Amino acid sequence: MASRGRTIAAVALGRLSRAVVEARLGLVRGHARRAIFARHARLACEALGPAFIKLGQLASVRPDVFAPETVFEMEQLQDRVPAVPAEDIEAIVRHELGRPVQDLFAEFRAEPVATASIAQVHRAELARDYRPVQGALLPAGTPLAVKVVRPGVEASIEADLAVARRWAARLEKLSRLARWRPAALLEEFEHTLASELDLRNEGRVADRFARDFSDDARVVVPRVVWPLTTRRILVTEFVEGWRLNDLGEAERAGIDARGLAAHGAEVFMRQVLVHGRYHADLHPANLFVTPDGRICYLDFGIVGRTTPSQRIAIAQVLVATVYGDADRALRYSRELGLEIPQHQEAAVRARVVELMQRTLSAPGRADVRGFALGFLEMLADFRIPIPSGYGLLVKALVTVEGVARAIYPDIDIVESARPFATRLIAAQLARPERLRERLPAALSAALRELAA
């Protein structure tokens, strides 16, 4: 372990040294300097393997803790690694399910279709009919994706986390870093990582996601084959399609990319604002388009959640943002925990108005990512802490735009979000408890009008 600790220290210090040199010993200021350090942090995570790659990916969903440059750099973490020999994967399947792959599947292909740092995926065929939790019967011969945790990966991750715990304890003693609570943050990440290593959790989330969108024929979630799924194995149906970054062929085949992009954005908003649970690891490898023009969602290892009160406040801020209403956006931001000191309110409002006009108001050319980055930088300039729910909102907006533009680069996500956000607020206002809450004020206003 001491050797691994020295390796981690060498990689971290090596990347830090390069970042300091590139940043010209701090002479490079602001966004450019933070971007340099974020890029080297991402490269260090990639060099250090599964545990650090996953920690980086988890950091990418915490804009309330990390700088925006770090959050968006960590989204790019890649964890493609050399394949494990098929016989090692088959040994894990035999250990977990008690029988060789030849008895469990009609066919099992030795060549993997995907290799990542934690798991490897092989193609297979269902041996007998199976009735899944969601959707129609899967007949024998159905193509399957068999995802298997790589041998030894749990021990490797635990060893790296032990080193990270020692570092976190030391960092807690540094006053400039203590406010980030590195030990508590690492503990939170460890919990998420442990959940991801148990593939049954991913299967449960996939089934729940499929149920949430069972009324949407344009959403596909591969169905889970539970009798063949264990803590280390996840078996689902295999869905064919095009990756989001390779849609030229799909468009030539007649796929309506613009319509699909707008629908993909609405699906994500539904996850965050209606169901309260959302796919938090959306990138081109986890999404693809099927030949019949649907969006297929894969890999539900990292999931985010929103509470009912957060959803209402997020919806209000979203509506205010797409309509360019800075006052309304800031008013409902307070319900998400954003505390703006009174003496800074006027200056903050002026910055938000300027930012909205610069990034969101140009017809057909809204830049949500630019708005999100500018907003987070503005909060940093005013030293205003970012509450976790608010970080979620900002990240959600950027993710919506990123997914939609991966499908159709010219889409205006603000225009696409406007009707959905408006319908959502109208539905919330029409709820009986909301009407009861507003009724006294409405009656009072009506009486004042009559008495005037």
pLDDT digits (tens, 9 = 90+) for 195-250: 889 999 999 999 999 999 999 999 999 999 999 999 999 999 999 888 776 767 77
β-bridge pairing 295-297 and 219-220: parallel
DSSP state of 279: E
Residue pair 194/149 in contact by the 8 Å Cβ criterion = no
Residue pair 225/106 in contact by the 8 Å Cβ criterion = no
Residue whose pair of structure tokens reads 């300039």 in the numeric block: 381
Average pLDDT, integer, range 359-387: 81
Nearest alpha carbon to residue 224 among 209, 214, 239, 237: 237
Q: What's the confidence (pLDDT) of residue 344? A: 92
Percent of the chain whose predicted confidence (pLDDT) is above 90? 29
Average pLDDT, integer, range 297-325: 82
Residue pair 382/60 in contact by the 8 Å Cβ criterion = no
Residue whose pair of structure tokens reads 């809204």 in the numeric block: 366
| Residue 329 C-beta-side C-alpha neighbours within 13 Å | 21
Q: Is pLDDT above 70 for 65?
A: yes
As a whole number of angstroms, the distance between CA 178 and CA 188 comes to: 16
pLDDT tens digits along 150-184: 998 899 889 888 888 888 888 888 776 666 678 88
Q: Is pLDDT above 70 for 431?
A: no
User: Which residues are within 8 A (CB) of 72 and not within 5 positions of it... i.e. 6 or more apart?
Assistant: 38, 60, 369, 373, 398
**Residue 204: its H or E element:** helix 199-212
As a whole number of angstroms, the distance between CA 436 and CA 438 comes to: 6
Three state DSSP letters for 235-270? EEECCCCEECCCCHHHHHCCCCHHHHHHHHHHHHHH
As a whole number of angstroms, the distance between CA 377 and CA 380 comes to: 5
As a whole number of angstroms, the distance between CA 272 and CA 393 comes to: 9
User: Which residues are within 8 A (CB) of 149 and not within 5 positions of it... i.e. 6 or more apart?
Assistant: 92, 118, 119, 197, 199, 231, 232, 233
Residue 430's pLDDT band (cuts 50, 70, 90): low
| Residue 74 C-beta-side C-alpha neighbours within 13 Å | 25
- The SS3 call for residue 374 is helix
How long a stretch of residues is the chain?
452
Q: What's the confidence (pLDDT) of residue 128? A: 95
Token reading at 203: 């299967």
pTM listed for this prediction = 0.80
pLDDT tens digits along 409-418: 788 777 777 7
Range in 3-12, 71-80, 409-418, 440-449 with the lowest mean pLDDT = 440-449
* Catalytic annotation, residues: 281
